[in-house]
Amino acid sequence: GDPKVPVLYEVERTRTGKSFSVRSVKAIQHGKPIFTCQASFQLSQESPVRHQFTMPTVPPPEQLLTQEELIHKFLQNPNLAERYRKHLTKIQAEDVPIDIKPVNPPDVFCLEPQEPKQLFWVRARGYIGETDMKLHCCVAAYISDYAFLGTALLPHRQYRIKFMVSLDHSMWFHAPFRADHWMLYECESPWAGGCRGLVQGRLWRRDGVLAVTCAQEGVIRVEQTPNQSKL
């Protein structure tokens, strides 16, 4: 999309039921669709059928370094290759409105394949407050897309990325949450192939409640010749 051009939203009332309703949305710029979305809504209902996975046991965010602090630490190493120094400096310069604390940050000097799983503590920067839950859901949608597809690249760190972009992104909201409070983002990639990668994610509240489940498929294209060393 073009941030300088207004977006026209076309909303179709796909279905309106007693408990569930569906709306289809098309965002248009320059006369062409740039985004399509299907949103489902449900009236709050109680049920004895309830369960969830168990939240992973990890150190609290107060004991971990932020992404900015980790990058600063890497940049202090005189053995870091110049192209990786430029890449990290570029990331450091980005104005990302999210606080991120990786639980197990990858070693920037290591090209060994890693399991396609990663954990982050995440939250929106600044204060949002006790406002409409829909706003927190919108912020969580932004947070969920950050570094999500990169999980599929952890077993293939020897390759340089040429192109990577999301194709489809789905979210299911299970329980109320605050996007400006720390949440644990559990990401994993069960499959990649054919220049595509599939990732799944869970956003946990600090009290162990599963708040959001996410899934994304994206395009991943890499250079066929693997990198030899980061030094």
- First and final C-alpha spacing in the chain: 37
Q: Which of 21, 166, 180, 200 is catalytic?
A: 166
Q: Which of 21, 52, 114, 145 is catalytic?
A: 145
User: How far is Cα 97 from Cα 32, in angstroms, rounded to an integer?
Assistant: 29
**Contact call for residues 187 and 148 (beta carbons, < 8 A):** yes
127 CB-contact burial (10 Å; exposed 0-12 / middle 13-18 / buried 19+): exposed
Q: How far is residue 72 from each of residues 65, 68, 86, 93, 124, measured CA to CA in Å? A: 10, 6, 12, 11, 21
H helix or E strand, kind and range, residue 211: strand 210-222
145 included as an active-site residue = yes
**Contact call for residues 149 and 217 (beta carbons, < 8 A):** no
User: How far is Cα 54 from Cα 83, in angstroms, rounded to an integer?
Assistant: 40
Q: Looking at the annotation, which residues are catalytic?
A: 145, 166, 216
